[in-house]
Every structure is written in structure tokens, then in C-alpha cells.
Amino acid sequence: MAVSDSVLRMTAAEDMCPQRLVLEHVTTRWGVLVLIALQERSYRFSELRRHVGRVSEKMLAQTLQTLERDGFVHRDAKPVIPPRVDYSLTALGEEAAGQVKALALWTDRRMAAVVEARKAYDETRTSS
Amino acid sequence: MAVSDSVLRMTAAEDMCPQRLVLEHVTTRWGVLVLIALQERSYRFSELRRHVGRVSEKMLAQTLQTLERDGFVHRDAKPVIPPRVDYSLTALGEEAAGQVKALALWTDRRMAAVVEARKAYDETRTSS
């Protein structure tokens, strides 16, 4: 099957696997939350940090830089005093956010079933 | 917005965030490849290892165990000699595989745009 072959070729070419990296960038804890936040509106750095919560300045800056380099986030530094930097999604970033949100929503919807499965699994292990 | 709030609550409850863990399990390098392989058909361990490629026995066993515990993979140990263990997707696992494959396909489709964006980003950095 073409699709699966293509995904599996990534593995064969592990060290040169750019798809893998993109998948990782958009599915990190902060990558997911930043993409979903920016899907609603653009944010200034400090606003975004408050909105996402619990993320260090350094980690948020790194997440934004990675997403900017991948072409998902647009960084708009306004030449004003005090300096003002707005972050928003590019068209490609809107797509990425849509994909990731679909996955996050699915995770939310199915969480109860997963918790149930884990409980059953752990009980089997304990009783055997 | 309900959805985003729900996703953001995960962050607030970082240590007790089961959604985050599920997202991580299905988007790891091997998690993605195992789910996509099992979407086609069931596999025996050694077959699956050859199919996925480059994965150590230990890592594949760990990936399968995690996916089994989450309720995505069914492990069928047949009482025969020599022992035979088949892995297949549960109904929940089919859903997970569908979600992850959609994301992997999107990554594949948009990879060229991402590579282009990275090149442009790196050039700006170098020239400034």
C-alpha cells in the first residue's frame, strides 16, 4: 500500500527522516497546546505563556521557534517601544493545528475507554 | 471554547494527565508504525519486527505492551508448540490507527512545504 510504504520508508531512512521530525514537533506537549491556542487567535508571547500555563519561558520560546522554522507559526516583531511580538498561524500552520486538534479531540473522547482498558490490564497482571 | 478548555485542563493537571500519555503512546516513532502496520492485518511478533524495520526486540515488545495496556492492541497467545503470539488491533485501536494515519498522511503531503520553510528560515538567519 502506497501510504504505508511511504511511512515505512521513513523508518528505513531513520537519520534522514524529516516527516518524523514534523510529527514530533506538532505532537509535543507544548506544540499541541500552542497550535490549538493560535488556532483561535494570535497571541503575544507573554499572553500565550499565561494561556498555555506551566510552560517555562525558555521552553515556550523554543517551541515557537521550532514551529516557526517548520513554517507553521508566523512571528511578527513590531518596531514599537516597548517591543511587541505577535505570534499567529500560517496557512500551513492552520492545517497542522486542524490535524493535531482532531487527534486531541479523539484522545479526549476515548479517554474513558483507555482508562478502563488499563484498569483491566493491570488487574489481570496483578491476579495472575 | 469547550474543546480547547478541555485540552488546556490537561496541562493544569500535568501529573495526572492521561490524555497526554495516550497522545504520546500513539505518536511515538514505533507506536505510529505499529498501528499503521496492524491496520492492514494481524502480525506475529517476528513478522512485525521485520515489517517495521530497525526496531530492537525490546523496544517493539515495549511498544506493543503499552498499546495493549491502552486497549489498542490485542495480544493472542496461542497454546501451541512452538509458541505463537499474534497481535491485532482492537476496535479502539482501529480508531487510533485511523487518527494517527491521517496525521502521518498529512505530514507526508506537506513535507515539501515544511522543507521549503526551514530552508527559508535558515537562510534568513545566516544572512542576518
The pLDDT score that the predictor gives to residue A16 is 53
Return the pLDDT at A11: 44
Whether the per-residue pLDDT at B5 is higher than 60: the answer is no
pLDDT score for B73: 98
pLDDT above 90 (res B40): yes
Q: Are B52 and B34 in contact (CB under 8 A)?
A: yes
Domain CATH code at residue B51: 1.10.10.10
How many domains, in total, are found in chain B? 1
pLDDT at position B128: 57
- B113 has pLDDT over 50: yes
Are B68 and A121 an interchain contact pair (Cβ–Cβ within 8 Å)?
A: yes
All three cell numbers of B128: 542576518
The answer to whether the CB atoms of B99 and A106 lie below 8 A apart is yes
How confident is the model over B14-21, as a mean pLDDT?
64
The pLDDT tens digits along chain A (128 residues) read 445 555 545 444 434 577 777 888 888 889 999 999 999 999 999 999 999 888 999 999 999 999 999 999 999 999 999 888 999 999 999 999 999 999 989 998 999 999 999 999 999 887 75
Residues 6+ apart with CB under 8 A from B93: B35, B38, B67, B71, B72, B73, B74
Question: Lowest-pLDDT range, A90-99, A113-122, B10-19, B106-115?
Answer: B10-19
Q: What span, in angstroms and rounded, lies between the C-alpha atoms of B41 and B88?
A: 7
Identify the domain containing residue B98 by its residue range: 2-127
In chain A, residues with a C-beta closer than 8 Å to the C-beta of B16 are none
Poorest-pLDDT segment among A48-52, A83-87, B9-13, B96-100: B9-13
Q: Report the run of H or E that residue A107 belongs to, with start and end.
A: helix A91-127
Neighbours of A81 (CB within 10 A): 6
- Per the model's pLDDT, the better-predicted residue between A7 and B116 turns out to be B116
Segment B41-81, tens digit of pLDDT = 999 999 999 998 889 999 999 999 999 999 999 999 999 99
Enumerate the residues of chain A whose CB falls inside 8 A of the CB of residue B102. Answer: 99, 102-103
Mean pLDDT, chain B, integer: 86
Residues A121, B36: C-beta atoms closer than 8 Å: no
Residue A37 to residue B69, Cβ atoms within 8 A:
no
Inform me whether the pLDDT recorded for B117 exceeds 70: yes
Q: What is the mean pLDDT of residues B108-124?
A: 92
pLDDT of residue B14: 40
Question: Which percentage of chain B shows pLDDT scores above 70?
Answer: 86
Distance CA B23, CA A48 (A): 22
pLDDT of residue A87: 98
